[in-house]
Amino acid sequence: MADPFTLAAIGGVALTQGISFLYTQAGELIKRWRGHKDAAAAATPAQTQHTIQAPAALGGRALTVSPDMTLVATRAEELLRLRAALSNYADNVEPVNPNDSHLIQNVAELRAALEAILGVHLTFEGEDRPASGQPMVTSTVQVGSVEGTVTGVQVGGAVTGGRIDSDVTAADVRSGGSVTGVSIGTLGPPTPSASPGKPPPSPAE
């Protein structure tokens, strides 16, 4: 989770925009999850890709997201609790005070929950963290005895930005077994491919 003190430095106007956005997104996810339940599809929830519009305070970009509805199901109570705690601020009934540590903590917790569910960062302008829309992958794996290979997150291609959090716990790793938190094919931009019949570009002298 982001340090709540970084949010306290954002300012009341930007925080008000951000709270309204987070509040709305949490409500939309809860309604979508309940729709899956009502349709008897909760056992195999879909991850439907769609676009949401971030407010100016969070970059003002259209963000493509693929909500993890299974994660919504496991964190529904948390989303409802945090959304209720922020409702008066989202509805402009209460003024936002950046020095209210309890308020800032609730904002940080709701943002962290939504980032995990949506798979992207939700970053206020001026924060020192990846921009809104950058990918965010969270993985938690708990296993007993390991005789083969266990990997928390495996990315075959190139990773040029975003954040990956992987927590892998094994009770016992036996001979020949291995446990890896994150495996990435290429860290940074992919190397340009040479055209057929042409050698790859030589490094600059």
Q: What is the three-class DSSP state of 17?
A: helix
Q: Is the dihedral of CA 58, 62, 63, 65 positive or negative?
A: positive
Owner of token pair 């800032």 = 104
H or E, element range at 166? strand 163-173
| pLDDT digits (tens), the chain, 205 positions | 555 657 888 889 999 999 999 999 999 999 998 887 665 554 555 557 899 999 999 999 999 999 999 999 999 999 999 999 999 999 999 999 999 999 999 999 999 999 999 999 999 999 999 999 999 766 556 666 766 676 655 554 444 444 455 555 766 677 666 767 666 555 444 455 444 555 555 555 4
The answer to whether the beta carbons of residues 174 and 145 sit under 8 Å apart is yes
pTM tops 0.75? no
The residues, ordered by sequence, that sit 6+ positions from 102 with a Cβ below 8 Å of its Cβ are none
Q: Is the dihedral of CA 12, 15, 20, 23 positive or negative?
A: negative
Distance CA(82)–CA(26), nearest Å, equals 9
